[in-house]
Structure 1
Amino acid sequence: MNTLKNLRVAVTGGTSGLGLALVEALHKQGAKVAFIARDARRVGALASRLPGTHGIVGDVSWKLTTHALAIQVNSALGGLDVLIHNASSLGPVPLAPLADTECEDFEAALAANVVGPFRLTKALLGSLASSAREGRTALVVNITSDAAVSAYPNWGAYGASKAALAHMSRIWDEELREHGVRVIAHDPGDMDTPMHALALPDADPATLKRPAMSAEELIERIRHIVAKEEVTV
């Protein structure tokens, strides 16, 4: 049985890299998908290519858009079962030591990688709790990184923000589990994406995972949760 059919899923950063691969794979497997991204042209093109998906133009790091994005997600999907926070910011580009990182660049990484997901989750928490009360899946997935655990030079803004996101996931999972809402952090590994190329332009793409493979790994994890199998955060 296809456990993802008609699952209502929202993906941020849905027009590039892992987000794009997730939107494509979830749509193919029968999920109802809404995706958020900043570039209106790319949002429109993807929605046209994948009929039935719902493209939403917006920047999750901008406080004033949070409730509008939540309203559009709910309107498009008729509720929400799974929220995937994939949109991310590297911070300064080229990457820089923390001592050379501008405060504004550090704040931008925190806004996109931690505060934005925090706000949007709060705005959609009622929808997720409603799904849980109906016996449906209610899940938040925060895309994190090994940079949240390992101290890589020049990755300070990104690593610190992802570490905060990972720990926020653990706390929220403890707080919300009794209400039927799960929150997990997921590290998809080093992928051949535009963001990775921006961070490490000399990296050999052949040594990196394809986003489609990482998307399938995450979807399999989601499938286990949908099937009520126990998952460690």
Structure 2
Amino acid sequence: MQTSIDLQGLRVAITGGTSGLGLALVRQLAAKGARVAFIARTAASVERIAAETGAHGIVADVGKKNDIYPTALQVTASLGGVNVLINNASSLGPVPLALLADTECEELEAALAVNLLGAFRLTKALFGALAASAREGCGALVINISSDAAVNAYPGWGAYGASKAALAHLTAIWDEEAKPDGIRFLALDPGDMDTPLHAMALPDSDPFTLKAPELAAAEIIEKMLDALTARDKLTTGARA
């Protein structure tokens, strides 16, 4: 695993950037020299993390349609474009977790609004900026944070799992469709982590059995760099 990396000039947008995996990504990417814009709902937390890391904080809810385009404009204005978008913000749906028969329609809608539609809308809003980055030879990548609940049928995880399964397939289709634009799409499962979201879902779980968000973030950054390098080699080969 690469431990000393200079990401000077890389422009990264991250949703759900004030806790758990998102926060670990913001901290590590900013520390490695990347220009980072992160999105989260709570103004006080956004201000605190922005002051701590030097990243650009944006107060918005990706689950709300009307927040998407203003957010995209702030991302591109603050970073001068975007190379990487990490759709990390997630909603469990019902809390505590519930069987599908006991899940309210509004709770399923809430999970889909953040985990699927939010990621779709923000990616769509930033697609032009990502394509421009690819044309400039700077790389363009969208990482959608998935889960093993997208492929395994865990009782009680219906709303979350169904939304993540849809996100994973959306990612695969978009990766095929965006090849002419030079944009790569990845769906990554970081594993079970010691995060506030996991604690909400399973409050009795032993945190010592869970992966640290910092480790998961380092693994995602490594895969991000591999994907950007692979796309750059393909582009270079095509031009040769």
Above 0.5 in TM-score?
Answer: yes
Report Cα offsets for 1:133-153 as digits up to 9, x if no partner.
001110000000000000000
Q: Which amino acid aligns with 2:77?
A: S
Distance of 1:163 and 1:55 partners within structure 2: 29
Report Cα offsets for 1:155-201 as digits up to 9, x if no partner.
00000000000000000000001210011100000000000000000
Q: How does 1:63-78 map onto structure 2 within 5 Å?
A: 63-78=65-80
* Map of 2:230 onto structure 1: 228
Q: Which amino acid aligns with 2:166?
A: A
Q: How does 1:1-233 map onto structure 2 within 5 Å?
A: 2=5, 4-51=7-54, 53-228=55-230
Q: Which amino acid aligns with 2:51?
A: S
Distance of 2:139 and 2:231 partners within structure 1: 12
In the alignment, is the contact (CA less than 8 A) between 2:139 and 2:231 conserved in 1?
no
Distance of 1:4 and 1:27 partners within structure 2: 9
CA distance 1:3–1:174, change in 2 (3 Å): farther
List gaps (5 residues or longer) in structure 2: 233-240
Distance of 2:98 and 2:154 partners within structure 1: 11
Q: Which amino acid aligns with 2:42?
A: D
SS of aligned partner of 2:27: helix
Distance of 1:202 and 1:212 partners within structure 2: 22
Distance of 2:49 and 2:19 partners within structure 1: 10
Distance of 1:130 and 1:124 partners within structure 2: 10
In the alignment, is the contact (CA less than 8 A) between 1:3 and 1:223 conserved in 2?
no
Distance of 1:55 and 1:142 partners within structure 2: 20
In the alignment, is the contact (CA less than 8 A) between 2:182 and 2:231 conserved in 1?
no
List gaps (5 residues or longer) in structure 1: none
Percent identity for Structure 1 against Structure 2: 62
Deviation at 1:77, TM superposition (A): 0.2
Distance of 2:92 and 2:216 partners within structure 1: 19
Q: Which amino acid aligns with 1:203?
A: S
Distance of 1:200 and 1:132 partners within structure 2: 41
Q: How many residues align?
A: 229
Deviation at 1:4, TM superposition (A): 2.3
SS of aligned partner of 1:112: helix
Distance of 2:169 and 2:227 partners within structure 1: 20
Q: Which amino acid aligns with 2:137?
A: G
In the alignment, is the contact (CA less than 8 A) between 2:98 and 2:157 conserved in 1?
yes
Q: Which amino acid aligns with 1:13?
A: G
Distance of 2:63 and 2:165 partners within structure 1: 17
Report Cα offsets for 1:6-34 as digits up to 9, x if no partner.
10000000000000000000011110000
Deviation at 1:2, TM superposition (A): 4.0
SS of aligned partner of 2:106: helix
List 4+ stretches of structure 1 deviating above 3 A: none
